[in-house]
Amino acid sequence: MTRLDSSEPTLPVDGRGLSLAVVVARFNLEITQKLLTGCLGVLEVNGAPPPRVVWVPGAFELPVVAQRLAQTKKYDAVIVLGCVIRGETPHDRYICAETARGVGRVALDTGVPVVFGVLTTLDATQARARSGEGPGNKGAEAAGAALEMGRLMRTL
Pairing of strands 77-85, 52-56: unpaired
How far is the CA of 64 from the CAs of 17, 96, 104, 123, in angstroms? 26, 15, 11, 26
Active site residue 65: no
Catalytic entry in 16, 74, 91, 101: 91
- Interatomic CA distance for residues 28 and 84, integer angstroms: 8
Residue 10, helix vs strand vs coil: coil
Q: Give how far Cα 106 sits from Cα of 39, 41, 66, 94, 113, Å.
A: 21, 25, 7, 18, 8
Which residues are annotated as catalytic? 91
